[in-house]
Amino acid sequence: MNNVICFPRLNFLRMNYLRNLISFCSGNYNIEFPLLKELNIVGCPKLKEFISESSIVSGMHALFNEKVAIPSLERMTISELTKAKMIFHNELAPDSFQNLRELSVSDCESLKNLFPALIAKHLPQLEHLWIRRCGVEEIVSEGEGVEEQPVSFEFPKVSSLTVDHLEKLKCFYKGQHTIVWPMLKNLTTDCSALLMIVGLEDVRIQETKGNGEAVLLVEEVFEVGGGFHSGSSYIFPLVRRFYNLETLNFSHFDFKHVVPCKGDVGTLSPIKNLELLSSKNLKHVWRKDSELGHILSNLQKLRISYCGDLKNIGASSLSFQNLTTLVVSNCKMMTNLVTPLVVKNLVQLTTMRVNDCTEMTEIVTNEGDYHQTIVVRKLKCLEIIHLQRLTSFCPGSYTFNFPCLEEVVVEMCPRLKIFSDGVLSTPQLQRVKQGPYNRKVYWKGDLNTTIQQLYTKKGGFNRPFDLNISDTFPKLIEIWKRNPQEILESKNLGRMEIYKCSSLNYIFTPSMLLSLKQLERIEVKECNTMEQVIREDEEGATIHNLIFPELSFVKIETCSNLTNFYLGSRPLEIPNLWNITIVECPKMTAFSSTISRKSEKVIDEQDVEDYTAVLFCDKVVIPHLEYLKLSSININKIWHHPSYSPERNQMFSTLRSLCLEDLPKLKDTCFENVFEFPWLRDLTLTNCPLLRTFISKSVCGDEPQIHQPTQTNDSAVLNQKVVFPRLEKLLIQGCDSLEEIIELQALNANEAQSTSATRSTMAETVMTKFVFPHLTHLGLDKVPSLKSFYSRMHTTQWPSLKFMKVVECPKAQIFGEVEIPNQQPLFCVNEDTFPVLQELTLKTNDMIKGICDGQLSLQCFPNLKLLNLQFFPETSTTLPYSFIQSLPKLEKLVINNASISEIVRFEGLINEERHTSACYQLEALRLSQLPELTLKTLEPFLLSFKNLLSMEVSRCHGFINLMACSTAKSLTLLERLSIADSALVEEIISCEGEDLQARIVFPKLKYLQLSHLPSLASFSLAHHSLEFPVLQMVIVTDCPKMKNFSQGELSTPRLEHMHLTRDEDGELQWEGDLSTTIKHMFDQMNMQSSQAIEVTDQLLQLE
């Protein structure tokens, strides 16, 4: 055939990073790859179809359609195809990819689904499937040719499945379906996809097939990540359905709202390995009523790392009776590991490793001086590494018996003086190692004596190149003060930590630097007598230059008398220093200061006449500084002089992160233009009350021009400047005096005389456009004096900004379009200002400016997904319909603490607009503290509720009921409903004047919370039936008038199995069904109230 292009022997095809590639082939051709085994397409953002013009007839662009034949394909990788909407065309033959073994799809934000149904049903060889960071709403799309109901999907050979970071994913398949994964061994997912990928969306997991075989088997590893929701309430009920699961990994998971399940506990859990990485709120699952103990009853290996809020690993109810290996690392809040009772139950434990827990002072906590004997029968290996505050294994007077302990590793535990205070028996132990890979061993007859000898011998040296000086080692301090060369000559120091050293006023003299050529890190913490790190002496005065050749890291914290890093007259050069952190040193006025030999009087960096405290001067050379954090120090300026200088340009030319916080006297940075920071990525200004501006811009100064002025249609000249070319995050918070980000300094008298009238006129007519090309996060929080970015006529453009927060900036008009000198809004907004902004939070007492007065033009925020409006209580207002309608992608709307009489304004709308809803993508609505919202019933108004997933209403005292029957029936996708602290609410659903025969179904509702509703009598007072087919959690708190849940029939089939009604104390209650449970709670409350009244009457009679 003339129209067929064939590659008969090609077995590998890679197309990577072809930025302008539109198609592999254009024209009316068929392409065949009969032997192609592997296809890799990455970084082709314009590619939508393999053959262009192939889908004109159907109007659908798919990467592969019937004109592309790849019958032997086994491995396919698709990544960064940002415009591709479909990979497989709906009309492809079912067996087109029947030999596919591995498929990886990632970073395709426009992709709507992964497979058509017919393709998904014919993948018999597929073994590994990855789909990550894509815009898919469903994994499998509905298509023609599938008639069975429910649809059965079976993936007979899939052993590894990864589905995560799919923000828009709603379901695996829209219709009723079952999914079978008989060979699945490794499942990795985040919570946004957790329930959907295993078929829980519309039907439950079918536990058996016709022959009794389990449908869902995960035999080896199940990894759960936090994803976009950071936690899943239903993780444990789901985990218990993985009948052969052996390894369970949680990463970045939040356990705060995890739902317990108390079903049949007769079958032992198969889970043998559990890993918790960067997870939080574990205390909620390690409580007394948690079923975690049963789920982990067969656990053999437990690994916990980077769980920042975990203080220890368990309650006494968790026995860990089968645990053999326990590894804990980098848990910064953990002060101890286990209780004595937990240790006694570790009867199978053979290996324990604990490292890098900075606050841990003991492994086993002391619960009282019981003088009991604790036998750890099978422990063979114990490793405790880099525990800076550890003082002993257990401080109590317990008797410890380790009959099998053979290896103990102790490394970098500088405060470990003794292993245990009580009697200690280790009959098999003959050595202590100073590191897991260190061959050198120590032994002095018994473990306690060996630890004591090591403590004395180390003298603060944690490893050969580290030195720790503190009051813990008084002999070392004595040597350091008498003759530090005894230490410096014998040690090639790489790192020094000086901690709680109360007898040193300084650490080094210039002459000592000759012995510190390898020093890389200096950390000084809580040294209250320390005045300088380096102090010049008579011998040091003869040294021309002071150089730290390898020093890269300086951290100084909580030194109340420290005034300088260096005190002396010589230049200080630190060529490789990239990180400086100085925190809570209230007397520090300069990084280095000069000294007068005659008077021994300290003089700051600037001239003698100027006594302003300035951090850096020309005599400090730090050419590669990347990270600078200054907090709670006593400086007035960052730089020593307002003139631009090569030294300063060199100082900050490599800076990537600058954090200035809690600097009460900082008035001026002396930065003159934004071009001093070509690499700055992160800028934070917090609690600097006297700082008036960040950049002081001189009109007459020479500065680089990014773009030459170009004439526009207006009379003004547009002068475009790219500012902070690599800045990604900007946060300004609590800077009371800050008026502008970039300040235009007034000309002095001499400059004014030399400035021509023409230039003066130009200054008034030039319109400056500031472009922030890479900024993604912008926060302006409590900046009461802020008026604008720049005082002259200007506009700003934020092409990459995704997250913006403006909180309590009362003098700034946040948004506007009128460009008038001296009346500049904070943002002059048009369609190009915020092209990709996704989240906008505004908290101000004058919301009328910009938004509510209708000044914003249409499509100013075309990609906005979250709008959070807070605290505008002074003037009653509403949101204009024109503004709401201009947010086509809005998914979440939050309105809090506002004087708002209705959500969207009706006024001025024609009849057609009144019947047209906006925000069709709205998924979450949160209304809180709206005292003037006096509507008796919340209605959709001009907002569309058809896609609503979550609704939260609190402190809205105008509502008598939340919604009408018609509104409730439209909430077909609602998953979460919470109503709290609303005094007048009598019922949630009101059906006054509506048909009571029709039932009301919440087909997706899983979570219901009713809290602090003193007038609530029932969920609905009407006699109609209510159905909640997937409801799994109900919380009822402080609803004293709620006698029953509803007047009509009630169906909650999932809740009957989950036992999830809670009372106000958080205890689980269940009396067989929801209505009976609510009535029981009401009766108990009345009984308690009557008892309280009776006791009160008796007391009154006694009086």
User: Which of the residue ranges 71-85, 595-609, 924-938 would you say has the lowest mean pLDDT?
Assistant: 595-609
CA nearest neighbour of 827 among 849, 800, 802, 853: 849
What pLDDT score was predicted for residue 457?
Answer: 63
Under DSSP, the state recorded for 726 is T
- Give the closest residue to 1012 by CA, choosing from 962, 1064, 976, 964: 1064
Amino acid at 365: T
Asked if 625 and 580 touch (Cβ cutoff 8 Å), the reply is yes
Classify residue 851: in a domain, yes or no: no
d(CA 584, CA 68): 66
Residue 107 DSSP label: S
- Per the CB < 8 A criterion, the answer to whether 177 and 152 are in contact is yes
Q: What mean pLDDT is predicted for residues 395-409?
A: 91
* Angstrom distance (rounded) from CA 251 to CA 277: 5
- pLDDT classification of 255: cutoffs 50, 70, 90: confident
Cβ atoms of 813 and 842 closer than 8 Å: no
What single DSSP character describes residue 857? P
Query: Using CA atoms, how far apart are residues 829 and 851, in angstroms rounded to an integer?
Result: 11
Mean pLDDT across the chain, nearest whole number?
Answer: 78
pLDDT at 782: 92
In tens, the pLDDT along 724-733 reads: 888 999 999 9
DSSP string, 236-277: HHHHTT-TT--EEEEES-B-TTPPP--S---SPP---EEEEE
Flag whether 958 is in a domain: yes
Q: In whole angstroms, what is the distance from residue 764 CA to residue 697 CA?
A: 15
Q: Are 70 and 36 spatial neighbours (Cβ–Cβ below 8 Å)?
A: yes
| Mean of pLDDT values over 487-491 | 62
C-alpha distances out from residue 42 to 18, 47, 85, 108, 337, Å: 8, 10, 15, 10, 46
* CA atoms of 735 and 687, how far apart (whole Å): 5
Check residue 287 and give its pLDDT.
60
CA distance 373 to 396: 11
1048 vs 474, residue with greater confidence: 1048
In a domain, 665, yes or no: yes
Residue 61 CA to residue 58 CA, distance in Å, equals 8
Cα(512)–Cα(534) distance, integer angstroms: 9
Which region among 150-159, 532-541, 803-812, 915-924 has the lowest average model confidence (pLDDT)? Answer: 915-924
HEC states along 1056-1075?
A: HHHCCEECCCCCEECCCCHH
What does the pLDDT read at residue 91? 85
Cα 723 to Cα 184, 652, 657, 826, distances in angstroms: 52, 15, 16, 16
Cα–Cα distance between 705 and 185 in angstroms, integer?
Answer: 59
The pLDDT-based confidence of 248 (bands split at 50, 70, 90) is confident
Q: Are strands 75-79 and 38-42 parallel, antiparallel or unpaired?
A: parallel
- Give me the mean pLDDT over the 152-163 stretch: 88
DSSP states of 527-551 as a string?
-TT--EEEE--TTGGG-S-EE-SS-
Q: Are the C-beta atoms of 606 and 614 separated by less than 8 Å?
A: yes
Q: Are 485 and 515 in contact (CB under 8 A)?
A: yes
* pLDDT single digits (tens) 428-441: 999 998 888 777 78
pLDDT at 761 over 60: no
pLDDT, one tens digit per residue, over 4-39 is: 999 999 999 999 999 899 999 888 889 999 999 999
Maximum C-alpha span of the chain: 110
Structural domain for 617, as ranges = 460-670
Q: Per-residue confidence at 760, pLDDT binned at 50, 70, 90?
A: very low
Task: Quote the tokens at residue 92.
Answer: 């492809």
Higher pLDDT, residue 191 or 502? 502
Give the confidence band of 209 by pLDDT, cuts at 50, 70, 90.
very low
Best CA proximity match to 261, nearest among 1060, 1008, 1006: 1060
Q: What is the pLDDT of residue 3?
A: 84
The burial of 608, by beta-carbon neighbours within 10 Å (0-12 exposed, 13-18 middle, 19 or more buried), is given as: exposed
8 Å CB contact between 1056 and 1029: no
pTM of the model: 0.72
In-domain check, residue 265: no
> What is the pLDDT at residue 419?
92
What pLDDT was estimated at residue 697? 55
Give the whole-angstrom CA distance, residue 957 versus residue 983. Answer: 5
And the tokens for 734? 């609590």
Strand partners, 302: 274, 326
Write down which residue in 602, 636, 670 finishes a domain: 670
Count CB-CB contacts under 10 A for residue 368.
Answer: 10
Q: How many Cβ atoms are within 10 Å of 779's Cβ, its own excluded? A: 18
- The model's confidence at residue 57, banded by pLDDT at 50, 70 and 90, is very low
CA dihedral 245, 251, 255, 258 (to 10 degrees): -40
Give a yes or no: residue 809 inside a domain: no
DSSP state of 216: B
Please check whether residue 899 lies inside any domain of the structure.
no
Q: Characterize 700-724 residue by residue with b for buried, 16 or more Cβ atoms within 10 angstroms of its Cβ, and e for exposed.
A: eeeeeeeeeeeeeeeebeebbbbbb
243 vs 208, which has greater pLDDT?
243
Across 269-278, 449-458, 869-878, 994-1003, the highest mean pLDDT is recorded for 269-278
Residue 946 and residue 969: Cα distance in Å, rounded? 10
Predicted confidence band at 205 (pLDDT cuts at 50, 70, 90)? very low
**How many CA atoms within 13 Å lie on the side-chain side of 750?**
0
> Domain boundary residue among 609, 641, 670?
670
If DSSP codes are grouped into helix, strand and coil, which group holds residue 138? strand
Q: Between these two residues, 1041 and 182, which has the higher pLDDT value?
A: 1041
b/e per residue 162-172 (b: at least 16 CB within 10 A)? bbbbbbbbbbb
- Is the four-CA dihedral 476, 477, 481, 484 of positive or negative sign? positive
Give dist(CA 831, CA 862) in Å, integer: 8
Distances (CA, A) of 260 to 216, 255, 1057: 21, 11, 11
What are the CA-CA distances from residue 351 to residues 301, 328, 334, 384, 426 (Å)?
Answer: 9, 11, 19, 11, 15
pLDDT, one tens digit per residue, over 454-475 is 776 655 444 545 677 877 677 7
What's the rounded Cα separation, in Å, for the pair 769 and 717? Answer: 10
- Residue 522 binned pLDDT confidence (cut-offs 50, 70, 90): very high
Give bridge partners of residue 557 from the DSSP assignment. Answer: 525, 583
Strand segments, DSSP code E, in 723-824 are: 729-733, 740-744, 766-771, 777-781, 788-790, 794-797, 803-807, 815-816
- Short-list 53, 60, 56, CA closest to 30: 53
pLDDT band per the 50, 70, 90 thresholds, residue 950: very high
Mean pLDDT of 58-80: 88
Number of domains forming the structure of the chain:
2
Residues in the chain: 1103
Residue 530 forms part of a structural domain: yes
How many CA atoms lie less than 13 Å away from 293 in the CB half-sphere?
Answer: 15
**Which of 682-686, 780-784, 909-913, 1072-1076 comes out lowest in average pLDDT?**
909-913
In 820-891 the beta strands, taken as DSSP E runs, fall at 827-828, 839-843, 866-879
Element (H, E) at 5: strand 4-6
Q: Which of 618, 648, 670 is the last residue of a domain?
A: 670
E-strand ranges in 29-109 read 30-32, 38-42, 51-52, 68-69, 75-79, 102-106
Residue 67: inside a domain? no
Q: Give the C-alpha separation, 799 to 833, whole Å.
A: 7
Q: Which residues fall within 8 angstroms of residue 133, CB to CB, at 6 or more apart?
A: 106, 107, 109, 164, 165, 166
